[in-house]
Amino acid sequence: MEQYRTRPAQYGPRRDRPRPPLPPQVKRGAGGAPARAGGGPARPARPPGAQRRPAPGRRPALAPAAVGRLPNPRLTGLGSGLFCAVVMFLLGALCAALFGASLTAYGVLFLPVCVLTAVWVRPGDLMTAPVVVPIAFAVGLLPVAEGDGGSRLMGLVTALATQAGWLYGGTLVAGLIVIVRRIRLVHRRRTAAAAGGRPAV
């Protein structure tokens, strides 16, 4: 009978062998700096008395500068009529309460309301401003007008006849502003059409 030879075990229990010491080039980092435990070069020692530089943080975003702007709403034709009528009625009541129903004070306050109405109406309803301004003037005269024998209608007619200068002046101011805005709008459209190579409509 053949007898098999018993091979000695090639893989025996591993013995912890001491690692060879590292060469001096590895122990010291680049430029002769001593190496850290992790293997990289250690940071140079901070000189005594040196202040620590703060860690860079995110700079706060600069808030946009708040620019004060005047209100510039865009009123429709109906909106401009309501605005003008309501404001003139309130101003008429104010004149009746504070200025003794002074028609002159009412006429002076009528002019800036006409300007605001013509400026704030949107471009599509420019022609409504000169129309709603006289109507608002008559509405605002209701609390100011005084008639003989308590007749408010006669007082309103008398006030319209005597204060026609303020009425025409405010309507003229509104009409001029509307014409200027209309001319600028047409010129802007023609410029945009010429720049785009399209015929102006």
Q: Residues 146-200: pLDDT tens digits?
A: 755 557 788 888 888 888 999 999 999 999 999 999 999 999 988 888 887 554 4
Q: What is the pLDDT of residue 153?
A: 80
DSSP the chain: ---PPPPPPSS-----PPPPPPPHHHHB-GGGPBB-TTSSBPPPPPPTTPPPPPPP-PPPPPPPP---------B-HHHHHHHHHHHHHHHHHHHHHHSSS-HHHHHHHHHHHHHHHHHHB-GGGGGGHHHHHHHHHHHHTTTT---GGG-HHHHHHHHHHHTHHHHHHHHHHHHHHHHHHHHHHHHHHHHHHHHHT----
Q: What is the pLDDT of residue 112?
A: 94
> What value does the mean pLDDT take over residues 29-36?
50
The count of domains in the chain is 1
Task: Give a yes or no: residue 99 inside a domain.
Answer: yes
Task: Give a yes or no: residue 173 inside a domain.
Answer: yes
Q: What is the pLDDT of residue 47?
A: 58
Task: Give a yes or no: residue 59 inside a domain.
Answer: no
Q: What is the pLDDT of residue 156?
A: 84
Task: Give a yes or no: residue 70 inside a domain.
Answer: no
Domain of residue 95 covers: 77-196
Q: What is the pLDDT of residue 84?
A: 94
Model confidence, pTM: 0.59
Task: Give a yes or no: residue 27 inside a domain.
Answer: no
Task: Give a yes or no: residue 101 inside a domain.
Answer: yes
Task: Give a yes or no: residue 40 inside a domain.
Answer: no
Q: What is the pLDDT of residue 86?
A: 95
pLDDT at 201 over 90: no
Q: What is the pLDDT of residue 200?
A: 47
Task: Give a yes or no: residue 129 inside a domain.
Answer: yes
Q: Residues 62-121: pLDDT tens digits?
A: 444 444 565 667 888 899 999 999 999 999 999 888 888 788 899 999 999 999 999 999
